[in-house]
Amino acid sequence: MKKIEVIQNVLEANEAIANRNQKLLNDNKVFCINIMSAPGAGKTSLILQTMKLLKDKLNVGIIEGDVASTVDAEKVQSQAKAVVQINTRNMPESCSLMAAMIESALKGMPLDSIDVILIENVGNLICPSEFTLGEHKRVVISSVPEGEDKPIKYPLIFVDADAVIVNKIDLLPYVDFDRTAFRRSVEGLNPKVEVFQVSCKTGEGIEKWCSWILEQLEANVTRQ
User: Which residues are near a copy of itself by CB under 8 A?
Assistant: 3-4, 6-7, 10, 38-40, 66-69, 71-72, 89, 92, 94-95, 122-127, 143, 145-147, 149-150, 152-156, 168, 170-171, 174-175
Residues in Cβ contact with 71 at an 8 Å cutoff, skipping those fewer than 6 apart: none
Of residues 29 and 75, the one with the C-beta less far from a copy of itself: 75
Q: How far is the CB of 124 from a copy of itself (least distance, A)?
A: 6
String of b and e for 87-116 (b: at least 16 CB within 10 Å)? bbeeeebebbbbbbbbbebbeebebeebbb
Q: How far is the CB of 37 from a copy of itself (least distance, A)?
A: 9
| Alpha-carbon distances, residue 187 vs 155, 159, 181 (angstroms) | 11, 9, 10
Q: How far is the CB of 48 from a copy of itself (least distance, A)?
A: 13
Of residues 16 and 68, the one with the C-beta less far from a copy of itself: 68
Of residues 71 and 221, the one with the C-beta less far from a copy of itself: 71
Helices (H), ranges, 28-70:
43-54
Q: How far is the CB of 139 from a copy of itself (least distance, A)?
A: 17
CB atoms within 10 A of CB 41: 26
